[in-house]
Chains A and B, each alone.
Chain A
Amino acid sequence: MTANETRWGVVGHEWAVATLSHHIHTRRLQHAYLLSGTPSIGKQTVAVAFARALFCTKTNSPCPSPTYCRTCSLVARHKHPDVHMLSPVETGSFINTGKISIDAVRELVHRLSLKPIETNRRVAIISNFEAAARPAADAMLKTLEEPPGNTIIIITTDNLASLPSTIVSRCTQLPMRPLLCSTVERALCENWGASREHSATLARISGGRLGLAVRSLSDDTIHENRSAQLSGLLNILPASRVDRFVFAKNLTKDREALFATLDLWASWFRDVMHVAADANTPLINIDKQTEIAFAANQLTAGGAARAVSAVRTAQTQLKRNANSRLVIEVLMLEIPHIKVSHNSL
């Protein structure tokens, strides 16, 4: 473990933690920070740790877990009166169907206009700000540009590109990357008490998203969903067009899950592409090695790459609110027709 891990209780993200910590120590805090990056990599964790660092009564760095002081414990449990959490209501797993309403933003703006209650500043942590509709984001602009008093606003987003540029330009940006697989693996082993083998698999499958890996530890449905989604793909690969269209019809019933399914499919084809190209890179879907190898024998790297981009195109179209049934049917025509050795049904 590096010094940062022990000091802030954050796994990885050394650069972000070091930057924020430096801002605190040199008293050069910015009024707004924007943490961006893939879902479930720990943006919120960093934001909350930063809030603890700002407020912890002991020193400028927060108490080590689990011996929290009262302030740290309140912040960590999102119950501190000077830390305002705003997140989309009804947060889904990957794709956030929840929305940040304009009323919630206005309420936050009002709260921030009052002097802090227990400490010398207020902190607002707004998660997944891309879930705010344009009017709600606009309601935040004035406060974001010039927050009252010592207020610090921390915004996290999964999708930097979908934030209005007016929001982005008002914040100090901290882009965050997925964690290294080895970091996730070690953290799962040491901090969450998972077995070494399980940790290794989860670290790969999660693609550096520690949050996801930790959730899969306790929630079996994540693993089950993933298996179902992958076997769905394996089933349709050798299937006829008619069967594929029937499958498309069923698949599009749940638009929310659809997006996650496509993510998984893209990662599967990515693995196939790597194997087909004889690249010596680690696989993401490490538990499906045999199927991947078999498929890679029938496809060129280029063919797999086309499949990846077909899936990505479908995702883009879905994001733009295209008719999901049509999008998936088109995708079904593009996905290569190959045999899979192992019948998972």
Chain B
Amino acid sequence: MKVSCLHENLARGLGLVGRAVAARSTLPVLGNVLLATEDSRLRLSATNLELGISCWIGAKVHSEGSTTVPAKTFIDLVGTLPKDQVDLELTERTQTLQVSCAQFKNDIKCIDSEEFPILPSAGDGQSLDLNVRDLRSMIGQVVFAAATDDARPVLTGVEVKIDESEVSFAAADGFRLALCNSALSSTNDQAISAIVPARGLAELSRIIGDRDDPVTLTLPVGRGQAIFRAKDIELVSQLVEGNFPDYQQLIPESYSTRSVLGTDEFLNACRAAQVFAREAAYAARLKIIPGDESDPGSVEVSANAAETGSNESVVDATVEGDAVEIGFNVRYLTDVLQVIDTPNVALETNGDSSPGVIRPVGRDDFVSVIMPMHIGR
């Protein structure tokens, strides 16, 4: 293999794929970045067997080939090279990659690319174009609700469900659920359902960052992977094995009290409560007082911790229905209020021991369900 490319491209590519390199793994090759020539471009790939990122950079290919370079060494080295043309030349027999740039000449010991796990290509399987902006906002709206511990592995993932005209993302951790939908730009003839690890989606949202070109989602037939592909970058995420719980039945169909609050005011009240609730298992008390003819009503958010002190803030609200006093984990409230971008938010409750539902007012593409906490009287 002999390739020349620009330092700038190489550094950018390594910055992208570097995130998927396994820091410490039983397979040494996972600490490496795959370099391969493909259609007169250079492909850089890294995977930690859960998440794989590939990126293609423009290069002048003198002779075809592939190898895997130790990621840390290579990234550190490229960081120190001058902004000039970089020449990479592999000696197949010894698996030594010579990296030369201006007056610098370096030899790096590599591992044969045969050992690198085969990353699937987006060629086969059903695929679908997704709008990059929708995708990013949807990821942001659900990933926080995914479980972080492995007690129930399916809950560490986000369920991605695509039917004829709509795509929906759902995440839950046993105490809360976040669900959001978005219309598809093109029609889709085959329903898709997969559980993608939340970590993978968060990484996707980061790497597609400020791009505008659409992202293609492919689910290769017979392989447990989802491939997200943008122009010259590809992210492969291993899917989670198992069935996602049927969350539709968790969303209450009716409510006895509906309170509409200003999103920012509610969020601020929750943040203030969190300061105190931190010491008391994050329990915050919401006292919902319905209005009468002269007063629309209010929601009183309070928290108290024996050692820290107590807090109480009143948020003006339009309350319909019965008065109720309910406890929530205040972190769950702040998490979901942070991702709602409408000025007002509705909190629907059914008494103090039923889940609370939070919806943005004026949009019906997002809903979050939070289990209440038991609060002493």
The answer to whether A and B interact is yes
| Interface residue? B238 (CB, 8 A) | yes
Known A79-B29, A110-B153: A70·B240 in contact at CB below 8 Å: no
A112 to B242, CA, bound (A): 11
**A328 / chain B contacts, CB cutoff of 8 Å:** none
Identify the interface centre among A85, A115, A120, A149: most chain B CB within 10 Å of its CB. Answer: A115
Q: How far is the CB of B310 from chain A (nearest CB, A)?
A: 38
- Establish whether residues B29 and A113, one from each chain, have CB atoms under 8 Å apart when the complex forms: no
**Which residue, A78, A110, A151, has most C-beta atoms of chain B within 10 A?**
A110
Q: Using a CB–CB distance below 8 Å, which chain A residues touch chain B?
A: 70, 74, 78-79, 81, 84-85, 106, 109-118, 120, 148-149, 151
Task: Using CB atoms, name the residue of chain A closest to B153.
Answer: A113
Instruction: List 20 additional A-B contacts (Cβ < 8 Å) besides A113-B154, A113-B241.
Output: A70-B114, A74-B115, A79-B29, A79-B115, A81-B117, A85-B26, A109-B150, A111-B50, A112-B241, A113-B153, A113-B156, A114-B50, A114-B153, A114-B224, A114-B239, A115-B224, A115-B238, A148-B241, A148-B242, A149-B224
Q: Answer yes or no: B362 CB below 8 A from chain A CBs.
A: no
Give A67 Cβ to nearest chain B Cβ, in Å. 15
Q: In this assembly, does B123 line the interface, its C-beta being within 8 Å of a C-beta of chain A?
A: no
Q: State whether B238 touches A117 (Cβ < 8 A).
A: yes
| A-B CB contact pairs (8 Å), 5 listed | A70-B114, A85-B26, A114-B49, A115-B224, A151-B241
- Report the separation of the CA atoms of residues A112 and B240 in the bound assembly, to the nearest whole angstrom: 9
Find chain A residues with CB under 8 A from B29 CB. Answer: 79
Shortest Cβ distance from residue B335 to the other chain A in the assembled complex, whole angstroms: 23
Name the distance in Å between A102's Cβ and chain B's nearest Cβ. Answer: 12
1/0 per residue, CB under 8 A from A, across B108-132: the answer is: 0000001101100000000000000
Contact present for B241 and A114 (CB under 8 Å) = yes
Kindly list chain B residues whose C-beta atoms are within 8 Å of the C-beta of A115.
223-225, 238-241
B114 touches A113 (CB 8 A): no
Number of interface residues of B (CB under 8 A): 23
Within 8 Å by CB of B222, from A109, A114, A120, lies: A120
- Interchain CA distance A79-B154 in the complex, whole Å: 26
Secondary structure call for the B interface: loop
- How far is B197's CA from A79's CA once the two chains are assembled, in angstroms? 24
Q: Whole-angstrom distance between the alpha carbons of A100 and B118 in the complex?
A: 29
Q: How far is the CB of B196 from chain A (nearest CB, A)?
A: 10
The CA of A74 and the CA of B153, in the complex, are separated in Å by 27
* A114 close to B197 (CB less than 8 A): yes
Query: Given the complex, which residues of B lie within 8 Å of A70, measured CB to CB?
Result: 114
Complex interface: chain A residues within 8 A of B224 (CB): 114-117, 149
Q: Cβ of B191: which chain A residues have Cβ within 8 Å of it?
A: none
Which residues of the partner chain B approach A120 to less than 8 Å between Cβ atoms? 222
Residues of A within 8 A of B156 (CB): 113
The distance from the CB of B155 to the nearest CB of chain A, in whole angstroms, is 10
Using a CB–CB distance below 8 Å, which chain B residues touch chain A?
26-27, 29, 49-50, 114-115, 117-118, 150, 153-154, 156, 197, 222-225, 238-242
CA gap between A31 and B55 in the complex, in Å:
38
Contacting residue for A114 out of B26, B118, B238, CB 8 A? B238
Specify which chain A residues have a CB less than 8 angstroms from the CB of B118 in the assembled complex.
117-118
Residue picked from A74, A78, A114, A117, most chain B C-beta under 10 Å: A114
Bound form: Cα–Cα A172–B330 in Å: 47
A111→B242 contact, CB < 8 A: no
Partner among B49, B115, B117 whose Cβ is within 8 Å of the Cβ of A111: B49
Residues of B within 8 A of A109 (CB): 150, 153
Closest to B239 in A: A115
B234 to chain A, nearest CB (A): 15
Q: How far is the CA of A114 from the CA of B223 in the complex (A)?
A: 11
- Quick one: which of A78, A79, A114 contacts B240, CB cutoff 8 A? A114
**A113 to chain B: closest residue by CB:** B153
A116 to B240, CA, bound (A): 9
**Docked complex Cα distance between A148 and B50 (Å):** 16
Residues in A neighbouring B115, C-beta threshold 8 A = 74, 79
Q: In the docked arrangement, what's the CA distance between A111 and B150, Å? A: 10
* Contact residues in A for B239 (Cβ distance below 8 Å): 114-115
Q: Contacts A79-B29, A85-B26 given: A117-B49 contact, CB under 8 Å?
A: yes
> By the criterion CB–CB under 8 Å, are B49 and A113 in contact?
no
Give Cα A70–Cα B222 distance, bound, in whole angstroms. 20
Q: For residue B26, which residue of chain A has the nearest CB? A: A85
B51 → chain A closest CB, angstroms: 10
CA A84 to CA B153, docked complex, whole Å = 18
From the candidates B114, B153, B197, B225, name the one contacting A148 in the complex (CB within 8 A).
B153
Report the 3 A-B pairs with minimum CB-CB distance, sorted nearest first. A115-B224, A113-B153, A148-B241
Q: Which residues of B contact A81 (CB under 8 A)?
A: 27, 49, 117
CA distance A79 to B118 in the complex (A): 13
Residues of chain A lying within 8 A (CB to CB) of residue B238: 114-115, 117
CB distance from A48 to the nearest CB of B (A): 14
A110-B117 contact in complex given A85-B26, A117-B49, A117-B238, C-beta closer than 8 Å: no
In the bound complex, residues from chain B placing their C-beta under 8 Å from that of A151 are 241
Complex formed: what's the CA distance from A113 to B29 in Å?
Answer: 22
Please, which residue of chain B has its CB at the minimum distance from the CB of A106?
B150
Contacts of A111 in B (CB 8 A): 49-50
The CA-CA distance from A114 to B240 in the complex, in Å, is 4
B127, chain A: closest CB distance, angstroms: 18
C-alpha gap A116/B49 in the complex (Å): 9
* A110 proximity list for chain B (CB < 8 A): 150, 153
Determine how close the nearest CB of chain A comes to the CB of B118; give it in whole angstroms: 6
Nearest CB on B from A302, distance (A): 51
